[in-house]
Amino acid sequence: MQATAEDVATSTEIVTRRWPQRPAAVRGARRLLRSTLLGWDRAQLVDDAELVLSELLANAVVHARVAGATVETRFAALGPAAVRVEVCDEDSRHVPRLRAAMPGDQRGRGLQIVDELTEQRWGYEWRTDDAGAATGKVVWAHLGRLRPL
C-alpha cells in the first residue's frame, strides 16, 4: 500500500533540512535520518532508509546541478511503522529514470536498489511556482508497512 498526500500532510512527525549541493551532504543527511528513525522507534528501517536516502541524495548532488542551489531532505513518519524519505532539488530539467545497467557499467544501479528496497514505492513530483512553472522536483520513497497486517 502506498501513502497518500493526506497521510503525509497529517503526519505530526516531519523533519526537514537544507544541505549544500555537495557530496559531503550525504553523510550528514544519513546521520540525521538515522537519529530521526531511532527517535521515532523505527530502528528496523534504518539500514534500508539510509541506503535509499544515499542514492536519492547522491543523484541530486551529481545530476541536478544548479549553480548556488541547495538540496532539501524531508522525513515524514507514516503510520506506526513506515517513513517517507524525500529529496528536493531545484533542477526542473532532469527526472529520475530507472534503467537497466549492463554488467560492466560503473553507474546506473542506484534507482534499481531504491526500487527493490521500497518495493516499487518511489517516484517524483514537480515543484512549481505560483504561475505553474517548474522550479524543481521532489523525489520520494516509502519504506516500511503503512498499515498493520
- The pLDDT tens digits for 96-126 are 888 877 777 767 788 999 999 999 999 999 9
Which residues neighbour 46 within 8 Å (Cβ) at sequence distance 6 or greater? 33, 34, 37, 38
Given a contact cutoff of 8 angstroms between Cβ atoms, the answer to whether 42 and 83 are in contact is: yes
**Distance, CA of 51 to CA of 63 (rounded, Å):** 18
**Distance, CA of 78 to CA of 90 (rounded, Å):** 25
Q: What is the CATH number of the domain that holds 121?
A: 3.30.565.10
Counting every residue written for the chain, the total comes to: 149
Share of the chain above pLDDT 70, in %: 89
Task: Give the residue numbers spanning the domain of 50.
Answer: 5-145
**pLDDT tens-place string over residues 54-100:** 999 999 988 777 777 889 999 999 988 999 999 999 888 888 888 87
What number of other Cβ atoms are within 10 A of residue 70's Cβ? 16
Provide the domain count of the chain. 1
